[in-house]
Every structure is written in C-alpha cells, then in structure tokens.
Amino acid sequence: MKESMFYNANPLIFKKAEELRNNPTQAEDLLWNYLRQNELGIKFRRQHPASIYVLDFYAHSIKLAIEIDGNIHQNEKVKQNDIERQKHLESLGINFIRFTNQQVLFEPERVINFIQQKIIVSKNNIVQITNSPSGAGGFIIPAIDIIEGKCVRLTEGDYAQKKIYNEHPLEVAKQFEDAGLQRLHLVDLDGAKAGKVTNWKVLETIAAKTKLIIDFGGGIKTDKDVTIVFESGAALATVGSMAVKKETEFVKWLVQFGADKFLLGADVKNEKIAVGGWLETTDIWVYDFIQNYRGKGVQQLFCTDVSKDGKLEGPSIDLYKNIIQQFPELYFIASGGVSSIQDLEALKTIGCKAAIVGKAIYEGRIELNELSKLNN
C-alpha cells in the first residue's frame, strides 16, 4: 500500500485504529455493512489512519472521509478538536462528510443517497470551483435586491431603510452585462420576508434577456421553490435561513439537486448567524455554521456582515480573513460594506475568490468601467 494513503501516520495511530476497528459503534457497523459491499464503485476502509488521526471511513481514490459523530461531539472541547482536526486533514486534500449517529441509525437511506451524490461529484470533478457556476465570471458580482419588482437597497438589512434605485431591474442587469460583468447576485427581499419565492418573474426576465450567470435567493423554503428558481433561469440557488432552521431539508436538496447548484449564504451580526432577511439573529457562531456544511459537501459560500451592509463603511476585512484562514479551500465570496475600488483590492489581497457589490455602484462610488477592469 502506498505510504501517502496514510499521510505518514505512525505505529501508535495504526494501533489505535485497530482498537477502534474491533469495537465499532452501532452506527459505524450499520454504515460499514453497506460501504464494504462496494455497491458505490469506490473502495472504503474503516478506522483508517491518516496523519495523527483515525478516520471512521476513508476512500483514498477520491480522498473522501466519512465521519459519524456521537453525542460527545456536542461537547465544546470535542467540537473544537473536530474543527482543528478536519482543518488539518483538509489541508492535505481530504474532503469530509459528517453525519450524526441519529442520522445513520434512523435515516440510512438519506445518508446513503448523500454519500452517493458526493461520490458522483468527486468522480466527475463537477464541484471543482473553477468549473462551477460560482467559479465563473470573474471577481466582481454586482447585486440587485428586489422589492415589489423594483431595484432597491437596504441599510443594515432594515426594510424600513430602503431606497429605490430603478423600477426596472432588467435595465440595471443589462448595464452590468454591457460593462463586461458576467455574474449577478439577485435577491428577492419580498420573498425573504414572506417565506416564499415571490419575484421569480424578475429572475425569469433577466435570465431570458441577458447572458448573466445568476444566483437567486430569498424565500426558498420548499422543493417547489427550488424548482421554480432553476426553471426560471438561475444557475445557483442561494440558501441561508433554511440551512439554519431546517438543516435536514437543505441537506436533502444538496442530494436531490446537487451540491454544486447551491450557494450557501451566511448573514452575520457580531459573528453570529442572522436569518429571515436579517430580521432575526441566532446564537450560531459563523465558524460552526461553515464547518457543519463543509462536512456536508458545500464548497461555495458568501458572507454578509449585516452591520456593514448598505452603509458604505468598508467591508469586514478581519472577519473575512479569519474565515479564509480557517477554511482555505472554501470558495469564499465577500459581501457588504464595499465603498471603493480600494476595498475590493483589499478583499482580493486577503484571498476572497469574489466580492458582491451593490450600493457603491448605485451611489456612484464605483464606476462600472472600474469594476470591469478589476474583474479581468
């Protein structure tokens, strides 16, 4: 066997792996009984030594690890150790899927379906960022926020602080396209507030009359909403609140539609996740949120610091730098607070893969020709 398969694990790690292999949990036994049959076309090994750790299951041909977390993993110290452990192994090129004991024991079909989807993605390299919709189109992603079919911007996500910039979003989208930009971040603020996709006609019109690569979010709550978004012409569905409030449902979508079809949104206030069009804050730490979904196959994420959004006071450089350092392989998109070309250059410097720009364009702080130059 190739030494690289074990990432220089020492004899003590091999001994620990053997001990764990002889004393599997009920969930590990159940999943192993399926994986070892090789019905997925990929050879997995159980309790596999890797560097200074032991992985529950590992397929070296696609560098995919599957971890099953018991109740002890809810302990804060254990959770932090999991984060550091996964970060180290990801730096070696290993990808992760994480499940809880309960998911494996009580939702085995869903677990298997998710693993199957991840294997397909890995084998065909369709989640390689450079080939995915979010990896195309350059660094600049202009934004259009929609209320009652009109192009608006909010300040700090406050619906009472809205300003209408154009009553015809298609005109704005065409201006972006004419300037050489290729992406569009389209947000249905009515939908986010109502809890259902509302302004899908705007999406349909822009998708039909431009060649922009569109990600669309706001109010995506059901399978039907996801279907409407894709059928209306979006390349990506942007999901935030659902990933927080109904994780099981969102994970089902990742399997059903493909993880490469979703852009995960993390709206943040004081490093805590906000939901419902920024109307509600939670106690979920943004780093835990990202870690959780990295383990479920999500590769693409944009983060908005709500305290900065729409205020033209500059982006949250420190926050974004910390996220990029913790998750270096994440396709990270910055959002909120951009007020100048210098801000965008700073975001590029710290390693952001792309940046969403909105109010700075509408207020004339940044000219479209400047964005076009920076985009190339």
Q: CA-to-CA distance for 87 and 92, rounded, in angstroms?
A: 9
* 267 annotated active-site: yes
Catalytic residue among 56, 69, 82, 145: 145
| Continuous H helices in 36-161 | 76-90, 101-106, 108-124
Closest residue by Cα to residue 181 from 18, 357, 2:
357
Q: What are the start and end residues of each CATH 3.20.20.70 domain in the chain?
A: 130-375
Q: CA-to-CA distance for 338 and 359, rounded, in angstroms?
A: 8
Q: What's the CATH fold of domain 3-124?
A: Endonuclease; Chain A (3.40.960)
Question: Residue 248: is it exposed, middle or buried by C-beta count within 10 angstroms (0-12/13-18/19+)?
Answer: exposed
Question: CA dihedral defined by 307, 168, 372, 278, rounded to 10 degrees?
Answer: 20
3-state SS, residue 80: helix
With vertex at residue 43, the alpha carbon angle to CA 42 and CA 45, rounded to the nearest 5 degrees, is 140
Q: Which residue's entry shows tokens 């660094």?
A: 139
Count of all residues that appear for the chain in the document: 376
* 288 annotated active-site: no
Strands 158-166, 150-155: pairing kind: antiparallel
Domain spanning 130-375, CATH class: alpha beta
Per-residue pLDDT of the chain (376 residues; tens, 9 = 90+): 444 688 888 889 999 999 999 999 999 999 999 888 766 677 889 999 998 999 999 988 888 999 999 888 888 888 888 888 898 888 888 889 999 999 999 999 899 988 987 887 666 443 343 344 545 668 999 999 999 999 998 766 677 777 889 999 999 999 999 999 999 999 999 998 888 999 999 999 999 999 999 999 999 999 999 999 999 999 999 998 899 999 989 988 988 888 888 999 998 988 999 875 555 778 999 999 999 998 888 889 999 887 765 567 789 999 999 999 999 989 999 998 899 999 999 999 999 999 999 989 998 999 998 888 887 6
Catalytic residue among 267, 305, 309, 343: 267
Q: What are the start and end residues of each CATH 3.40.960.10 domain in the chain?
A: 3-124
